[in-house]
Every structure is written in C-alpha cells, then in structure tokens.
C-alpha cells in the first residue's frame, strides 16, 4: 500500500511542478506573443492593402464568419477592408486574407494556411497566382484555364468561392457608396449650429433647431421616404419663413444607374426656395425612370412642411 501512495505522490508532485512551470511560462510569454501576432497581422494587411495607413481592429465586423477590418489612408478616410475567411479545399480549411477597396475591387490576396496537396493544390501559395486576383471584383467568373492548375482544380476553386463570399458580404454602408456626406449642409456656413437633440418628431421626421449667435434661425430636418426598392434618407434645412434652404438625399437603395449623380444634384437644387404651398409637378419634378422614388420624397417633404407650419405657429414665427 505504502508504495502506491509513494507513486501517486511522486507523480502528483511532477504534475504540480509541471503545471506551475507552464502557468508561469504562459503568463510571461502571453504578451509578447500577442504583440507579435498583432504585428504580423498588420504587416500582412499592409501587404494586401498598400495604400492603407491604419487598420482599426476595434471596428472589426464579422459577417457570415468572415472578419472585416476597415482600412484607412493617411488622411483618415476609409478606403476599404481586409477580410479574413476560410473555405474548405481538398485537404481541409484554406485560410485566406483578401484586401478589398471601397470600389469592391481586390487589392491583394494572401493564403495564410492550407493543407493542400504539395506540388498540386498548394500552388495557391504561389505569389504569381495570388497576384492574378488583384483588380478583380465580385462579378469575376472563375476561369479554369487561367486560374486552375493542371491536376488541381478544387483548391483554387475553393479560394475563389471564399473570395466571392468575402466580396459579397462586404459591410459597406450605402451612403459610402453614393459618396454624399451627411454633414455637407452644415459645412456651407460655419457659424450655424444644429441642436444635438431633436425638438420635434413626427413620423419618420426629426426636427432639429438651427441657431447662430442671434438665436434660432430655422430647422434641420432629417427624414426618410419609402422608394421603389426601400428607404431613402434625406435631410433638409428650412428657414423661419418656411422656405426650403437645402435638400439632400443622403442614403438611397434605389436601382443603381437609373439616376446619375449630376441629375440628382440638379433635382435637389430645384427644391430650394419652395414652401408648403408648392405642388408636385410630375413633368418637371420627376426624374425620368424614377418617378416612384421622386414622388415618394416629394410627398414626405410636403408632410414635413405641413407639420412645420404648426411648429412655426407654436414658436410665433408667422
């Protein structure tokens, strides 16, 4: 019996000492290892996105298991994402990173880890093959002649479908696509100040006080209308007399290409100076091919202005 306890004691002692050493080593090395991992990831990202200056880990978004880390250039502008994902190949998961510009085009591809057949599928590690993907977008169709290797189609196809998923799920907000800045209305005159909290809210419309040194000079109104494909968010400024100062569409999900930006800008300018008495005129005010959308916005503007008259009464601006 005594012997058994002796054995147990020795083994336990070794186990405890081992565990202690491991815990200590782990504690000591955890930070440097994390730093190295971060540094490596950043340099890998930089390789994929040469134009980028900074990658903000905090703003990472995970969409269908793909990690998107936004990339910023020197002036702090968001210029794209580096996406990390995995796709099953011939010999297991293929881990890849792909840089995607704001225009949806690939800026670089890197295979991080894969266990494809040496000499066949593992040619996806070749730099020359990875470079082929630069400039392609989600519309690109896999070309067997060009993109596959003799005897190895599964591995490159897997990378292709992984990339395609990454491109399709890219978390781009619509206003980034349209490139209209939300704050542009207020940018025009610096001394104007928009209240942080809305004073009134009717339906979708929120009314914010605009004031300068002399007090309130009008309202900034943000609202949305239901268009042909979904919501259209727009902003307008209305002065004390009830006349529209500016109107701007900030977000829209309408059929792309139907309305070009110049036409939209012209259309927005037409609204300047109009008030509650203005009647929507289909021939003048509808943009060709987008009648439903323009009408929806016009209707919402009319609603907003009608309610605005009540506010004017309350404030004694009549």
Instruction: Enumerate binding residues for other proteins (CB under 8 A).
Output: 3, 6-7, 10-11, 14-15, 18, 21-22, 25-26, 28-29, 32-33, 36, 117-120
- CB closer to other proteins out of 34 and 310: 34
Residue 111, strand partner residues: 96
> Are 193 and 219 contacting, i.e. CB atoms less than 8 angstroms apart?
no
- CB closer to other proteins out of 122 and 235: 122
Q: Please state, in angstroms and rounded to a whole number, the distance separating the CA atoms of residues 72 and 17.
A: 48
Minimum CB separation of residue 232 from other proteins in Å reads 52
Minimum CB separation of residue 67 from other proteins in Å reads 22
Q: Please state, in angstroms and rounded to a whole number, the distance separating the CA atoms of residues 124 and 163.
A: 13
Minimum CB separation of residue 110 from other proteins in Å reads 15
Q: In terms of DSSP bridges, do strands 244-252 and 215-226 run parallel, antiparallel, or are they unpaired?
A: unpaired
Minimum CB separation of residue 86 from other proteins in Å reads 18
Minimum CB separation of residue 43 from other proteins in Å reads 12
Using a 10 angstrom Cβ sphere, with 0-12 exposed, 13-18 middle and 19 or more buried, the burial of residue 99 is buried
- CB closer to other proteins out of 19 and 241: 19
- CB closer to other proteins out of 117 and 157: 117
In the numeric block, the tokens 């605005």 are attached to 308
Q: Please state, in angstroms and rounded to a whole number, the distance separating the CA atoms of residues 240 and 79.
A: 40
Minimum CB separation of residue 21 from other proteins in Å reads 6
- CB closer to other proteins out of 9 and 282: 9
Q: Please state, in angstroms and rounded to a whole number, the distance separating the CA atoms of residues 300 and 204.
A: 9
> Are 91 and 116 contacting, i.e. CB atoms less than 8 angstroms apart?
yes
Per-position b or e across 205-221, b if 16+ CB within 10 A of its CB:
bbbbbbeeeeeebbbbb
Q: Please state, in angstroms and rounded to a whole number, the distance separating the CA atoms of residues 40 and 43.
A: 5
- CB closer to other proteins out of 95 and 217: 95
Minimum CB separation of residue 25 from other proteins in Å reads 5
Minimum CB separation of residue 27 from other proteins in Å reads 10
Q: Please state, in angstroms and rounded to a whole number, the distance separating the CA atoms of residues 230 and 232.
A: 7
* Backbone dihedral angles phi then psi of residue 216, each to the nearest 5 degrees: -70, 130
Structure token pair of residue 245: 């100062």
Give residue 134's region: left, alpha or beta (phi > 0; psi -120 to 50).
beta
- CB closer to other proteins out of 32 and 76: 32
- CB closer to other proteins out of 46 and 136: 46
């Amino acid at each position: 019996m005594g012997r058994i306890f002796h054995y147990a004691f020795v083994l336990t002692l070794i186990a405890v000492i081992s565990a202690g050493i491991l815990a200590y080593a782990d504690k000591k090395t955890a930070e440097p290892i994390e730093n190295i991992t971060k540094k490596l990831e950043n340099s890998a990202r930089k390789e994929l996105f040469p134009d980028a200056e900074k990658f903000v880990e905090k703003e990472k978004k995970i969409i269908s298991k793909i990690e998107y880390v936004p990339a910023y250039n020197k002036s702090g502008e968001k210029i794209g994402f580096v996406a990390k994902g995995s796709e099953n190949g011939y010999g297991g998961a293929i881990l890849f990173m792909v840089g995607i510009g704001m225009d949806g085009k690939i800026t670089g591809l890197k295979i991080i880890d894969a266990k494809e057949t040496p000499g066949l599928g593992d040619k996806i590690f070749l730099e020359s093959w990875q470079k082929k993907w630069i400039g392609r977008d989600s519309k690109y169709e896999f070309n067997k002649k060009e993109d596959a290797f003799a005897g190895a189609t599964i591995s490159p196809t897997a990378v292709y479908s992984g990339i395609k998923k990454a491109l399709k799920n890219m978390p781009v907000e619509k206003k980034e696509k349209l490139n209209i800045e939300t704050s542009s209305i207020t940018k025009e005159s610096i001394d104007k100040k928009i209240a942080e909290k809305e004073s009134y809210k009717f339906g979708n419309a929120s009314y914010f006080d605009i004031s300068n040194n002399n007090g309130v000079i009008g309202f900034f109104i943000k609202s949305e209308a239901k268009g042909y494909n979904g919501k259209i968010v727009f902003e307008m400024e209305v002065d004390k007399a009830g006349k529209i100062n500016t109107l701007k569409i900030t977000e829209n999900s309408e059929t792309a290409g139907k309305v070009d930006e110049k036409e939209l800008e012209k259309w927005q300018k037409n609204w300047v100076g109009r008030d509650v008495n203005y009647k929507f005129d289909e021939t003048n005010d509808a943009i060709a091919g987008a009648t439903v959308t323009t009408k929806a916005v016009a209707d919402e503007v009319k609603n907003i202005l009608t309610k605005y008259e009540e506010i004017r009464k309350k404030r004694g601006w009549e």
